Structure 1
Amino acid sequence: MKFYNLQAMRGVAACMVFLIHLLSTKHGLGADWFLFKWWWVGPAGVDLFFVISGFIVCYTAAKAGREDLAPITAATRFGIKRLFRVYPVYWIVLAVSFALAPYVQTADPGMAAERVWRLVTLATTNNNRVVLAWTLCYELFFYLVLALIILIRPKQVYELVLGWIALQIGLTIWASGGGLQMFNYVPLSPLILEFGAGCILAFMVDRGVKAYGWQSLMAGVALFCVAVWAHSQNGNWAPWWRSLYFTIPCALIVYGAIAIEISSGVTLPAWLQKVGDSSYSIYIWHQLVLAILLKLTEMSGLFDVLPGLLILFIWGVIALAFGFLSYQVIEKPSQNWIHRVMKRPERRELSHI
C-alpha cells in the first residue's frame, strides 16, 4: 500500500532542510533576517524524515517478514533493496565532491578529513565531503536492526521492534550519563528513537488504527510550533534536545497525515507528492549544487549585477531541478533495476510459462 500523504510529508521535510541551506549559502543577499528565524525550523526536517523513515522501513520489513520465504532470503532481499535506496546516488555525489574538491568548498575548512573508505561505506557521521550524509549513517543502522529482526523472527517483526525500542531507550539513558560525546555513537544516540516512533506508528496503522487523524495532525503542528520556540530558548540541535522536542510533534503529524488519507481519502497536493518522490535526491545533492552555484556566481561577477534575492531564487530553482533530474536519471532507474533483480525466482519462472 502506498501512502500518498507520506510522500508529500517527505517533500515537506526535504523543503525544510533545503531552504535553510539555500539561505545560508551566502550571507548578505537580503534574506538573513529570515535565515535567523528559519534556523529554528529548517533542520527539524531531518527529524521529520527520521520518523517517516521509521514508519516506511518498519512497515516494509513487516510485509517482507510475512512473505513465504526463508528468513535469510527475506532479510537479504530487504537489506539489499534498502542499500540500493541509499548508495547509488550517494556514491555519485561523493565522486563529484572529490572531483571538485580543489575548486569548490563543500564543508567547513576546520572539519576533520576522513579516510576514503569510511566516506564510501558511510562508516562515519563526520563526512567532510557530503556533509548531509551524516543522517545516512542513522538510516543504515536502522536498516541493519530491521534486517536482523527479519532474520531472527520474520513473522514477529513488530514484537521484536518494540523490544528493540525498549532496549534503545535504556541505552540512550545509560549513554546520557557519559556526557553528550556519547551521543556521537549512532547506536547510542537519542535520534534513533525518532525511528522508533515511526515504527510504533507503522504497528498502529498495520493493525487498522486510523481514528483522530485531523486532531492528531493539528495537535502535531501546534506542538511543533511550541517545540520550535522551546528549542530556540535552550537547545542548539544537539541530539538530546532535538529528539526530546521534535519526536512527538513529528510523530503526530505523520500519523495524522496517514490517518486522514486512510479514513477520508484526503491527500495533499500532487505536486508536493512529486517533491516527495525526489526528496532523497534533492536532499543529498543540494549542498554540493549550491556550493557549485556560489563559485560560478563569484567567478562570473553576477553578485555585482543581480539583486541578492533574485540570485537566491535562481539558485533554488536550479538546485531543485537538479534533484528532480537525479531522481529520474539515477535514483528511479537504480530502484527499478534492483526490484526487478530481486523478484522472487518462482515469479520469474512463471512469467516464462
Structure 2
Amino acid sequence: MAERHKLDWIQALRGVAALLVVLTHARRYLLETEWRPFVEHYIMPAAQGVDLFFLVSGFIMVYTTRGADGSLRYASGFLIKRFARVWPVYAVAVLLWIAFLAATAQPIAPLANILKSLCFLPVSTHQPPYLGLPYAIGWTLNYEFYFYVVFGLAILFGSARWIAFAAWLVLTLVLAPWLAAGYVSLLANNDYHFGSALAGQLTNPMVWEFAAGVLIGLLYRSKLSLPRSKLTDALIAACVLLIVATAWRTAPVWVHGPIRWGAPLMLMFAVMALTYKNAEPRVPRVLVWLGGISYSLYLLHYIVFCAITQLFVLAGQEKLTATWPYAILIVPVPLAVAALSKRYVEDGLAVRVRDRLLALHARIFATPAPAEGRVSTKEA
C-alpha cells in the first residue's frame, strides 16, 4: 500500500514550510517603518514553517526506512544518503555567506566556528535554539543531522529500534534536564545552562517535534486510518484555522517548539496522515515543484535577500528597500535561485557526493571472496 504513494501532499507541506520562512525574513524590510506592529503580529508567525519542517522530517525518516533490516550496512548507508542530501547544499550556502560578508567588508566568524558549523556542531552555549552559527539560517540543520544520527543508530537495534529511540529521547529530553536543572521544559528558547553547546542542543525541546513526526509516521504505517470525507476535510481546515489563530494570538513572541507553534501543527499533520494514507489528495503541481526546491529555498533565500538589498544600497536606493513593493517583489527571486540550486547542487553535486560515498560503502561491505583453496558455504 505505502509503496504506491507519491506523497505529493508531503512535498506540498515542505514547499509551504519553506515559503513561510521566506515570508518571515521578507518582513524585515518593514521593521523600521510604521508597519512594524502589523508585520510582527501577522507575518512573523510564519516562522513556524521551521516547526513544520521538523515534523515532516521525522515522518519521512519513518517512511523511507520501512525496509530497515537492523544491519550496520543499512544504518551506515542511511546516514551516507542523509549526509549527501543535506551537507553539500549547506556547505555551498555557508561559503556563499562568507563570500558575501567578505565582499561587503563585514565581520566574518572565526574559522573554528565556521568549521564547527560545517560539522553540524553548535557554537554558542546560551542561544537556544539558534546555537550561534556563523550562517544563522543553518541552525535547523544541526538539529536535523543530529536527528539523523540518532535515528540511524536506533536502526541498529533491529526490532527494538523504537524502544531504543524512545529511551534516548527520555534520557536526553527528560532525565538529563531534570538531573541537571531540576525541571523539564517544552519551550525551545529555554536554557538549561549546561555550559556545553552540544548538551544544550541535544536537550533542546525542538527535538520533540522530530519525535512527533516519527510517531505520526508510525501511525501512517499502522492499520489506523480516517476515511476521506467532507468531515475529515473540514477537520483539516479547522486545524489550519487553529494554527493561524494560535500564531496570531501569541505574536509577536517567538514560540518555536512542541508546546506552542508545534502543537496545532502536530494535530493537523496527524489528521492529514491518517486521512491521506488511503486517499491522497490532488495537489497543485506548483506546490509539488515548490516542495522539490524547498531545501535550497530555505538555505539560500536569506543570502539572495541580502545580496539584492546590497545592490540597492550601492545604487543609492536604500530607501526603496523599506517599502511594501520591495518586500513583496523580492520574494520570488530566491525561487529562481533555488531552482538553479536544485538542478546543479542538489541533483548535481550532492548526487555525485552520494554516489561516490555509496560506491565506497559498497566496497567496504562487499562480501569477501573465499580464500584460495577453500570452498564457500554457498558452493558447498
User: What TM-score comes out, normalization by structure 2 length?
Assistant: 0.77
Stretch of structure 1 that moved more, 179-188 or 336-345:
336-345
Spell out the pairing of 1:68-217 with structure 2 (5 A cutoff): 71-104=71-104, 115-124=113-122, 125-151=130-156, 153-171=157-175, 174=178, 177=182, 180-182=190-192, 185-211=200-226, 213-214=232-233, 217=236
Could you tell me which residue of structure 2 aligns to residue 51 of structure 1?
A: 55
Measure how far apart 1:301 and its partner are.
2.8
CA distance in 2, matches of 1:112, 1:340: 32
CA distance in 1, matches of 2:323, 2:238: 37
* Residue identity (%): 24
CA distance in 1, matches of 2:216, 2:141: 21
Question: What secondary structure does 1:264 align onto?
Answer: coil
Measure how far apart 1:81 and its partner are.
0.5
Measure how far apart 1:276 and its partner are.
0.9
Question: What secondary structure does 2:102 align onto?
Answer: coil
Measure how far apart 1:27 and its partner are.
3.8
Measure how far apart 1:227 and its partner are.
2.6
Structure 2 residue 318 is matched with structure 1 residue 320:
no
Q: Deviations over 1:95-136 (max 9, x none)?
A: 111222133488xx7999962321221211534432110111
> In 2, are the aligned partners of 1:158 and 1:203 still within 8 Å (CA)?
no
Tell me which amino acid in the other structure corresponds to 1:181: D
Measure how far apart 1:335 and its partner are.
4.8
Question: What secondary structure does 1:85 align onto?
Answer: helix
CA distance in 2, matches of 1:168, 1:74: 25
CA distance in 2, matches of 1:83, 1:127: 22
Could you tell me which residue of structure 2 aligns to residue 218 of structure 1?
A: 237
CA distance in 2, matches of 1:313, 1:40: 15
Give the counterpart of 1:60 among 52, 64, 83.
64
Structure 2 residue 12 is matched with structure 1 residue 8:
yes
Question: What secondary structure does 1:43 align onto?
Answer: helix
CA distance in 2, matches of 1:306, 1:162: 48
CA distance in 1, matches of 2:319, 2:169: 54
Question: What secondary structure does 2:131 align onto?
Answer: coil
Tell me which amino acid in the other structure corresponds to 2:136: V
Question: What secondary structure does 2:45 align onto?
Answer: coil
Question: What secondary structure does 2:264 align onto?
Answer: helix
> In 1, are the aligned partners of 2:30 and 2:327 still within 8 Å (CA)?
no
CA distance in 1, matches of 2:109, 2:95: 19
Tell me which amino acid in the other structure corresponds to 1:38: Y
CA distance in 1, matches of 2:28, 2:283: 29
Give the counterpart of 1:272 among 276, 279, 287.
287
Tell me which amino acid in the other structure corresponds to 1:161: F
Could you tell me which residue of structure 2 aligns to residue 227 of structure 1?
A: 246
Superposed CA RMSD in Å reads 3.3
Measure how far apart 1:13 and its partner are.
0.7
User: What TM-score comes out, normalization by structure 1 length?
Assistant: 0.83
CA distance in 2, matches of 1:128, 1:322: 23
Measure how far apart 1:313 and its partner are.
3.2
Measure how far apart 1:57 and its partner are.
1.4
CA distance in 1, matches of 2:132, 2:321: 33
Q: Deviations over 1:76-104 (max 9, x none)?
A: 10001011111101111111112221334
Instruction: Please say which structure displays the higher CA radius of gyration.
Output: 2
Measure how far apart 1:200 and its partner are.
0.4
Measure how far apart 1:155 and its partner are.
3.8
Stretch of structure 1 that moved more, 162-171 or 274-283:
162-171
Structure 2 residue 305 is matched with structure 1 residue 290:
yes
> In 1, are the aligned partners of 2:9 and 2:283 still within 8 Å (CA)?
yes
Q: Deviations over 1:19-73 (max 9, x none)?
A: 010121464578645422235421111111111111111322333x14xxx7110
Measure how far apart 1:186 and its partner are.
1.3
> In 2, are the aligned partners of 1:88 and 1:334 still within 8 Å (CA)?
yes
CA distance in 2, matches of 1:320, 1:29: 26
How many residue pairs align between the two structures? 336
5+ residue gaps, structure 2, are: 123-129, 367-380
Measure how far apart 1:3 and its partner are.
1.1
CA distance in 1, matches of 2:212, 2:321: 46
Over 3 Å counting, the alpha-carbon distance change for 1:314 and 1:158 in structure 2 is same
Tell me which amino acid in the other structure corresponds to 1:329: Y
Q: Deviations over 1:240-265 (max 9, x none)?
A: xx321122311222233334433333
